[in-house]
Amino acid sequence: MTPENQQLIDARKPIIDHLKVELIKRLNLPLEPADIHEDVALLGSGLGLDSLDALEIVLCVENAFQVTIADNNIAVLRSINTLVDFVLEQKKGGVVTP
Amino acid sequence: MRMTPLHDFFEKAGARFQERNGVETVTAVSTPEIEYGLVRDAVALSDASYMQVFRIPEAGAVDILDPLLAGNVARTRFGRLLHTFLADDEGFLAADCYVANNDDEFLLICESIVDDSAVRHLFMESGREAGMEDLTETYAMLSLDGYKAWAVAKEVFGADILGLPYLSVENCTFGGEKVRLFRSGKTSEFGYLILVPCGKAAELAAVLATAVEKQGGGLCGAAIHNDLRLEGRFFNIFSEGAVVRDPLSLGLQWMIDFDKPAFRGGEAIRQRRADGVRKKIVGVRVAPGQALAQGMSLFDGGEEAGQVVTACMSHVLGCRMGLALLNAEVAYASLRFHLGAANGPEVTAIAMPPIMPKSLSVKLDEM
Amino acid sequence: MRPRVVVTGLGVVSSAGVDRQAFLETVAAGRSCLTQVNDPRYQPSLRVMAGLVGKLPQVPGLPPDWPALDRFVQLALAAADQALRQAGVAPAGMGCRMGAVLGTCSGPTTLIEEFYQAALDGKAELSDGQAFRMSYGSAVRALARVFSIGGFTSTVTTACSAGITAIGTGADLIRSGLCDAVLAGGADAYNISTQIGFDGLKAPSDGPSAPFSKPTGLCLGEGSAFFVLERFDCVKQRGGSILAEVLGFGTSNDAIHCSSPDASGTGQSLAVVRSLEDAGLDRDRVGYVNAHGTGTLANDKAETKAIRRVFGDKAARLPVSSQKAVFGHTLGAAGALEAAATVLCHEKGVLPPTANFTEAREGCDLDYVAKAGRPWPDDSRGHVWIKESFAFGGHDASLVLGAAQSAEPDRSSPLPLARVCIAGIGLVTSAGAGREAFLRLLSSSGPTLSECAPPGHVPFRAALVPDELDPALERRLGLRRMDKAGALGTVAAHLALVDAGIVLRPDVAAGVGLYLGHSSASNAAEASFVPDLLRNGYVLQSVAEFPFVVPNATAGTICRSLGLRGHNAAFCFGDGAGLMSVLAGAVAIQNRHTSMLLAGAVDVLTQRGWGVPLPDGGQAPAEGAVFFLLEEEEHLRQRGGRSLGHIGGLAVATHAGGSWSQRPAADTVRSVAELALRQAGMDAAALGAACGPAASLLGHVTLGVASRMGLAQACDPLFELASGLFASSPFPRTLLGSLSTRQGLTASVILDSLFQEGS
């Protein structure tokens, strides 16, 4: 693996792992972390979460990574990957640990 | 070849046809650019009669369907749709399925990548005694997709359909005949599938087409749906599904009820789940103007990391994008790869879905 | 023929005034009384406003041997005192003919917070007295004691629609002939954990709330309001004066979401339509709607839609207003306070305005009586009003009220009381789901006990329901994402429907109601949400559980999972809540609110609800769930269903005197049983079998089941009744069910077999 890619994985993986574990615990999902593809839709189809679940995800991300997600920013709530992109963008340059 | 009952209607509109798995399909009516714009900005009517549809009386439906399909059919509530799949005995995809619990009947809607007759044989063998019927040849299926699809559905079937949540079914009437309306869609815009008896199909298509035009829309084919699905990261069995076929690598775990004692192919899927998924699909994009097509290899440094399984032009991103099947250890968005060789053109793995459709800002249930 | 119900007394306590006069002046002027919340525990970054009462007026005190009760009880006592004084009724002389129904959302949450703080500090005390202080039922027990109310008493716990549902339930008790007068209303005190929960839902406004106007958001409040409801003919007889009439009552459940309203307005409009049907009035007769109008984006838009759904083109000309900008969202008190505002403002001839209204919001396009009040329209339409309230758990409620002058001319007589049957029973016990498991446990030597040690408790042994019930049922009902109470309740409700042969097609489910009775209102969400807040210094870490802290969440979960949208409520009755819920459900069907209603209870192990010294020593506590499907006899006959028994008579009394934990005397228990027997037209000698404490008093051997299955606080009397029904199947005889509780209630119900399949 190229060192650049390894670096990108090191930045991304802890956020993904944390979010999956939290999502399963907080939302009582009948899945294992490995069962949740990072691109699967969170709301509507896919995991089929609802508006309260969305607030819970927002709170979870905000508390874990010290970021703020605006009330109307539904674009970041589309998948785990869009959430991770948002967190990394907000923390640009800094180290992100949950 | 099974012909579509809407052949004449679409032929008159200048549509092009193609055979897929022994079934005639309307592939396109105008250009991809135009058809794409119709769906994203207005609404497009297309023929989905290539889908197979089975009807089974409610009484025996769960007992027949639950052991065959991967999802939790037993939990599918009245009026709702379950999105799941049918696997073969080895746990590889055979058909993408919607199961609709519609009052006194269950309807099964399949997009399959195996032969029509094989799917029919499987379901009818299990369901004949419970009264299962194959509606595929006696009904036509129309698909209404786009930012303004709801306005067309409202005009033709009444304002009540606005209250229909995503993944649900409603009975309507058209010309005295019962028409089943499914709120579904895989384009990220509003979508409805409309199941109509063949005798009324052309007439309904004409009425819908008129309403579609009023909204600035038009007709489209099945080909553009491949691009729309990919851009919205909706699973497409005809593209990545047909190439990869392993539901776990495709990230379809959400379609599977792991609490179920058994389902077709379930044992093999469970075994692969226990072993750990070694390859995963990831969204990728290239620089504007750069080619990207199925079968191209991706390199991570000097090592081959995987292959492109489907690709299209993304009008939102302004470049080609696709899905690649990558070794799980490098299957992460944001990583950079090279096409064809270690020093080939750059490919970036991206978070999916990359688009924010206009439809997401419209709340139908509040209208 | 059902009697008419009128209002003869009103009491109000809120930030807008702690007496009728001050309250009326503030509300009629549309003066906002919201002030900044200055609680040191509250995060300074979150500056919110609320309608706070401040110092309470002098209220009649409780006896010195009673433990100190929550602020919501004090608020209730103050408002009830005003109402009873105005009406001039003397409950002490009325015995069981006078009842009390109190609605609350947060109940004793301040004391509950103190308990969890003590538990975190390792100092939790779970004595009987402490359990009583933390009970949602503590307020109505205090009302009964202070004002000597001896009839049917209960606590409605449907969160923000509890006030309306309490008044509607009170009216039903009178129309069913159980009471001649009922003290009904709501009370809630402001507390920080509720505020923070709403913050998590992003509901609060940055400044003073402005319903239907820009900007969006709600402000909480606190307060209480009580109505004295009386039988019209009783008031005429005693020459009392009438303030208003309760014309109709209707409820529904959205069956969509635990906290968000049905955005289409369907569920809310269903409640309003049902209340108009109950009143026997056309929608054109309505001249004013007092809205729920919380100020949130979701509520105000959905409510506007719902009003348009009900009133069609006429909605545009119908005055609609909300008082929540004046005194805040007072949750369980809101419906009662706002109904009181309507009655008082009508008397003064002023349409109560929506305060703080500046600019209409998108999707809010009705006549909201913006900013200033205006004269009440002087036509007959002005005499009929709707008060609507919507709540977490999807519980919607609507009341049709009429001006005093509308009470004068004779209205056409409403339909007679409907007859009620039991059409199905669903059971979950520590032996598993279903009747077979129940019977197996009944014939066993005792339940399997597990060691339990909730935090802050002395370890004890209990009969727990296994986490894995029936895999097929779990998949079918989608139990994996529910809490245990929701899961057990859903299974029992489902089994009762199956037992009755009901297939829940959407049109059927829309008409099936649900009454859930609970003993102490403690649930898993509360035991996790509140301590988490305390541990984190009142900073919210998770909001998913907040909508499940309210005690009606379990009822909401059951309705959502089964799609039930019929007549709906949740009650706290103390021990034996399941039987009380069946009685309340029977009253609802008698009043034709629905033709099918699931009534029952759920018991699950929780940190706060268990470990209290048990009343009868000996029996280990047990988990379980039970629902009876109650059905209107004519409906059952028409669909060709089978009746397990017809409810021939029912009677309820509350021990009003003495201590807070005193059971009713044997004499009272017996006389209540005899009252029920008389209603059923029989004497004790004709009884086939009897359960509960009245059995031995009437010379029968009781069918006690607790020794075989452990003691399920809320379910137990229904388990007994079910065992009696199963034992006597086919049902040739009559059966009496009874209870007497530490909360002072005694009740009896007679089941007879007047209608049988094929007869």
Give the DSSP per-residue string, B119-166: HHHHHHHHHTTTT-EE-TTTEEEEEEESTTHHHHHHHHH-GGGGGPPS
Structure confidence by residue, pLDDT tens digits, C101-128 = 999 999 999 999 999 998 888 887 778 8
C528, C666: one domain? yes
**Hey, are the CB atoms on C505 and B78 less than 8 Å from each other?**
yes
> Is residue C396 in some structural domain?
yes
C449, C346: one domain? no
pLDDT of residue C759: 36
Task: Quote the tokens at residue B60.
Answer: 């025996």
Give the DSSP per-residue string, B281-312: EEEEEE-TT----TT-EEEETTEEEEEEEEEE
Contacts of C260 in chain A (CB under 8 A): 50-52
Per-residue CA distances from C56 to C17, C53, C432 (Å): 10, 7, 49
B366 vs C263, C475, C505: nearest CB: C263
C655-658 contacts at long range (C-beta below 8 A, 24 or more positions apart): C655/C144, C655/C150, C655/C744, C655/C745, C655/C746, C656/C91, C656/C92, C656/C144, C656/C145, C656/C148, C656/C149, C656/C150, C656/C744, C657/C145, C657/C148, C658/C145
Structure confidence by residue, pLDDT tens digits, A13-66 = 999 999 999 999 999 888 999 999 999 999 888 888 888 899 999 999 999 999
Looking at the predicted structure, is the pLDDT value of residue A87 above 90? yes
**Hey, are the CB atoms on A63 and C541 less than 8 Å from each other?**
yes
Q: Which residue of A has its CA nearest to C536?
A: A63
**Hey, are the CB atoms on A59 and C481 less than 8 Å from each other?**
no
pLDDT of residue C755: 42
Q: Which residue of B has its CA nearest to A48?
A: B254
C219, C254: one domain? yes
Cβ-contact B354, B321 below 8 angstroms: yes
- Give yes or no for B267 touching C (CB within 8 A): no
Q: Which amino acid is at C686?
A: A
Neighbours of chain C (3+ CB pairs under 8 A): A, B
**Hey, are the CB atoms on A39 and B233 less than 8 Å from each other?**
yes
Evaluate the CA torsion angle C343, C345, C346, C347 in order and state its sign: positive
Contact partners, residue B63, CB within 8 Å, separation at least 6: B130
- Give yes or no for B361 touching C (CB within 8 A): no
> Cα separation of C153 and C577, whole Å?
12
**Hey, are the CB atoms on C472 and B257 less than 8 Å from each other?**
no
Its domain, for residue C635, covers 420-752
Contacts of A27 in chain C (CB under 8 A): 481, 544
Closest by Cα among C223, C155, C167, C182 to C339: C167
Total tally of structural domains belonging to chain C: 2
ipTM for this prediction: 0.93
What does the domain layout of chain A look like in residue ranges? 3-90
Task: Quote the tokens at residue C278.
Answer: 């109950």
Contacts of A11 in chain B (CB under 8 A): 334
What are the b/e assignments for B168-195, b being 16+ CB within 10 Å?
A: bbbebebeeeebbbbbbbbbbbbbbbbb
Contact partners, residue B315, CB within 8 Å, separation at least 6: B33, B36, B37, B40, B231
Domains along chain B?
Answer: 7-228 (3.30.1360.120), 233-350 (2.40.30.110)
Is domain A3-90 classified as CATH 1.10.1200.10?
A: yes
Stretches where chain B sits below pLDDT 50 are none
> Is residue C759 in some structural domain?
no
C interface mutation test: which of A32, A47, A55 has the most C CBs within 10 A? A55
C207, C346: one domain? yes
pLDDT of residue C1: 67
Residue C514 to chain B, least CA–CA distance (Å): 19
> Cα separation of B327 and B306, whole Å?
6
Cβ-contact B320, B314 below 8 angstroms: yes
Cα C341-C292-C295 angle, rounded to 5 deg: 110
pLDDT of residue C152: 97
C273, C133: one domain? yes
Closest by Cα among C361, C11, C356, C346 to C184: C11
Contact partners, residue C295, CB within 8 Å, separation at least 6: C205, C209, C210, C211, C212, C216, C217, C218, C219, C322, C324, C325, C329
Stretches where chain C sits below pLDDT 70 are 1, 44-46, 406-414, 456, 521-522, 609-617, 728-732, 754-759
> Is residue C758 in some structural domain?
no
> Cα separation of C279 and C270, whole Å?
14
Looking at the predicted structure, is the pLDDT value of residue A84 above 50? yes
Annotated active-site residue in C329, C346, C518, C567: C329
Known active-site residue C329: yes
pLDDT of residue B355: 86
Q: Which amino acid is at B284?
A: V
The CATH number linked to C738 is 3.40.47.10
**Hey, are the CB atoms on C480 and A28 less than 8 Å from each other?**
yes
Q: Which residue of B has its CA nearest to C302?
A: B366
> Is residue C399 in some structural domain?
yes
> Is residue C415 in some structural domain?
no
> Is residue C411 in some structural domain?
no
Known active-site residue C160: yes
**Hey, are the CB atoms on B75 and C472 less than 8 Å from each other?**
no
Annotated active-site residue in C105, C292, C364, C383: C292
> Cα separation of C639 and C505, whole Å?
15
C398, C438: one domain? no
C594, C717: one domain? yes
Cα C299-C303-C307 angle, rounded to 5 deg: 175
> Cα separation of B91 and B165, whole Å?
31
C112, C211: one domain? yes
C377, C476: one domain? no
**Hey, are the CB atoms on B332 and A39 less than 8 Å from each other?**
no
Residue tagged 């991770």 (tokens): A84
Q: Which amino acid is at A59?
A: L
For the beta carbon of residue C442, count every other beta carbon within 10 angstroms.
18
C558, C688: one domain? yes
